[in-house]
Amino acid sequence: MMKGSQMFLEPFSKSEIGLGLRAPHYSAILESPPKQTWFEAIAENYMGVEKGTGGRAIRVLEKIRCNHDIVLHGVSLNIGSVDEPSENYLKRLKSLIARIEPKWTSDHLCWTGVNGENLHDLLPLPYTEEVLDHVVEKILWVQDFLGRRMLFENVSAYLTFKHSQMEEWEFLSEISRRADCGILLDINNIYVSSKNLGFNPLTYLDHIPPARVGQIHLAGHSIQKTNHGICLIDTHDRPVPEPVWALYVEAVKRFGWIPTLIEWDASIPEFSILAAEGEKARNLMEVTS
């Protein structure tokens, strides 16, 4: 079976690693561009570019683009909502894609608002046939509008819906097949959800079609005590913990080499610490794939 992103996307070199691009690191990256590194930029941070103007952020991104490949990662496409796709949002995203020429563009398999309101959170969906049909139709429309395939990422969950008719891995796999899109597999999110909801994360990996996986995310999470026991929160505020590294190794065994990216969004450390996490991923990928 063809593995990983080989079928889907123009791959990076196997020695390259991805890091989440965050404003506190702009200076370090521009002053001393790290070798064999690509960056994932949050699309909405650079989308004020309708008239080709934009602010400092897009100018910095264009400078970084001179030395590094970029992928774009959206957080408010709102693909799972009953709202129609926002043409205003998609026009601005398309404009940014034309300007930055990312290797690919991704967003989340979730909903983020309704009736035009953005709730600024990645909210999970009930996994039903009705939702499946709805999301597939929206992804097909969006991909047609953008003129390119996208990748969709699994989000963390803390609760399940009583009326879900299938497991998350079945829903994600079926979405990718029917909408002909890629999967951005967040290993930390799988681990967080497995602990919160009580499933085996290896079962999740075993049911993902390898040829659809175009990118992997790794990140840290926090552990909180609640009245109902321990809850893992997808905080992205610390190094990747050992159980997530272990699950990453299991993913690489199943999917082969996949472009891998470290996310760190809160309590952001010096760039060298983020880069060291990337090195660890690179080394693990080399010895496992």
Which residues of the chain form contacts with Fe ion (CB under 5 A)? Answer: 186, 217
Beta bridge partners of 152: 107, 183
- 224's CB contacts (< 8 A; 6+ apart) are 230, 231, 232, 233
The secondary structure of residue 8, as a DSSP letter, is T
Find all residues with CB under 8 Å of 230, minimum gap 6, and list them. Answer: 195, 223, 224
Cβ 216 to Fe ion shortest distance, Å:
9
CB atoms within 10 A of CB 88: 9
Least CB distance to Fe ion at residue 55 (A): 25
Which candidate, 255, 259, 262, 260, places its Cα nearest to that of 289? Answer: 255
DSSP assignment of 70-119 equals EEEE-S---TTSSSPP-HHHHHHHHHHHHHH--S-EEEESSEEEETTEEE
Asked whether the beta carbons of 208 and 183 are under 8 A apart, the reply is yes
Neighbours of 135 (CB within 10 A): 23
Q: Which residue has the tokens 């992997």?
A: 216
Smallest gap from residue 247 Cβ to Fe ion (A): 14
- Given the complex with Fe ion, which of 107 and 186 has the nearer CB atom? 186
Q: Where are the beta strands (DSSP E) in the chain?
A: 17-20, 37-42, 70-73, 105-108, 111-114, 117-123, 151-153, 182-186, 213-218, 222-226, 229-233, 260-262
Shortest distance (Å) from residue 149 CB to Fe ion: 19
Query: Which is nearer to Fe ion, 21 or 49 (by Cβ)?
Result: 21
Q: Which is nearer to Fe ion, 217 or 221 (CB)?
A: 217
Compute the least distance from the CB of residue 217 to Fe ion, in Å. Answer: 3
In angstroms, what is the minimal distance from the CB of 193 to Fe ion?
A: 12
Pick between residue 68 and residue 73 the one whose CB is nearest to Fe ion.
Answer: 73
Q: Are 183 and 172 in contact (CB under 8 A)?
A: yes
Side chain identity, residue 132: L
Residue closer to Fe ion (CB basis): 69 or 186 = 186
Of 138 and 217, which has the nearer Cβ to Fe ion? 217
Q: Residue 103 CB, nearest distance to Fe ion (Å)?
A: 17
Distance CA 44, CA 285 (A): 30
Pick the closer one to Fe ion by CB: 92 or 217: 217
* Shortest distance in whole angstroms from residue 234 CB to Fe ion: 8
Q: How far is the CA of 147 from the CAs of 71, 72, 238, in angstroms? A: 16, 15, 36
By Cβ distance, which residue is nearest to Fe ion? Answer: 217
